[in-house]
Amino acid sequence: MPDTDAATPESAASVGRIIHADNLTVLPMLPDSSFTLIYLDPPFNTGRPQARQSTTHVRTEQGDPDASTDPAPQRAAGVISGFKGRQYQRIRGDLYSYDDHFEDYWGFLEPRLIEAWRLLADDGTLYLHLDYREAHYAKVMLDALFGRECFLNELIWAYDYGAKSKKRWPTKHDTILVYVKNPKAYWFDSTAVDREPYMAPGLVTPEKAELGKLPTDVWWHTIVSPTGREKTGYPTQKPEGILRRIIQASSRPGDAVLDFFAGSGTTGAVAAALGRRFTLIDESPDAIAIMRARFAPVDGVVFE
């Protein structure tokens, strides 16, 4: 684990940092508001024992006459202070008793998302990449942590590869939830994003057909080809095209990008290619070994 003297996102001479550690031990050492973009592709099944108490937080607006301002009664009632002085009422119960797996996932993901909120710059954006099993739960969690007004998009990444069930509609998409730190100040540049062909080019002018269109919130993009140049051998590797679109839209050249479930390092590879600085964190020795090979040709990448 890095020491506290290395707590800045990157030094001036560094393109990026790759840290081999449990992300929850590293994130508190990083300074507030230090990243313009955070992309997260967490594991869907933590495999870790977690406390079994079911809790959630419901926002009460500042100035709510029903919300006590005295800290002692607040603590007794289970009300805790949230971001920027907002209040959350802790509701205990059996809301999630039907789904122990998600209780574990909530306990795993929530403290890491709290850190993500802290680390985002005021103009920053979080992209949380999940599959259909957890996306709706995570949406509720992020609404509580960030505020519903900070929800920007639900992106659907659709692909057509792999087994196809004959007993239900085959699942061929992932969900990417997009939240901003400040809905009045976030950075988004649609002009920087690679455009894509119109599905019906005959319905637009030849000039528009040649230019292509801005992607919508549904992204059709193939997975990483098992025989393609991008393939690193990491089982959950995401295609560079998906990360390229995200980084182009929600960061500028020179901005700092964070991925603390780094896996094969695609976020860092695309960030470096686009002139962004990056910090990657992963606790898997296999992931670190793959990233060492992947970033060997890139100058200015520091392993810790």
Q: Where are the domains of the chain?
A: 4-54+93-303, 55-92
Sign of CA dihedral 76, 78, 80, 86: negative
263 DSSP 8-state letter: T
The pLDDT-based confidence of 62 (bands split at 50, 70, 90) is very low
The pLDDT-based confidence of 103 (bands split at 50, 70, 90) is low
The pLDDT-based confidence of 52 (bands split at 50, 70, 90) is very low
Reported as type and span, the H/E element at residue 272 is: helix 266-273
The CA distances from residue 56 to 89, 103, 107, 157, in Å, are 8, 10, 10, 28
Kindly report the pTM of this predicted structure. Answer: 0.80
The CATH number of the domain covering residues in 4-54+93-303: 3.40.50.150
The pLDDT-based confidence of 94 (bands split at 50, 70, 90) is very low
> What is residue 72's predicted lDDT score, i.e. its pLDDT?
35
Of 234, 141, 142, 128, the closest CA to residue 174 belongs to 128
For range 42-61, the mean pLDDT: 46
Reported as type and span, the H/E element at residue 248 is: helix 240-250
Listed in sequence order, the residues at least 6 apart from 269 whose beta carbon sits closer than 8 Å to its beta carbon are 240, 294, 295, 298
CA distance 281 to 265: 9
- pLDDT, tens digit (0-9, with 9 covering 90-100), for 8-17: 444 445 799 9
Listed in sequence order, the residues at least 6 apart from 230 whose beta carbon sits closer than 8 Å to its beta carbon are 224, 237, 239, 240, 266
> What is residue 183's predicted lDDT score, i.e. its pLDDT?
97
- pLDDT, tens digit (0-9, with 9 covering 90-100), for 271-300: 999 999 999 999 999 999 999 999 999 999
The pLDDT-based confidence of 102 (bands split at 50, 70, 90) is low
Rounded percentage of the chain residues whose pLDDT exceeds 90 = 54
Among 80-89, 100-109, 115-124, whose mean pLDDT is lowest? 80-89
- Residue with more model confidence, 61 or 101: 101
Listed in sequence order, the residues at least 6 apart from 159 whose beta carbon sits closer than 8 Å to its beta carbon are 172, 173, 220, 221, 222, 223
The mean of the pLDDT values for the chain is 80
Reported as half-sphere exposure (CB side, CA atoms, 13 A), residue 105 has a value of: 17
- Residue with more model confidence, 179 or 96: 179
Q: In what order do the strands lie in the sheet with 79-81?
A: 55-60, 87-92, 79-81
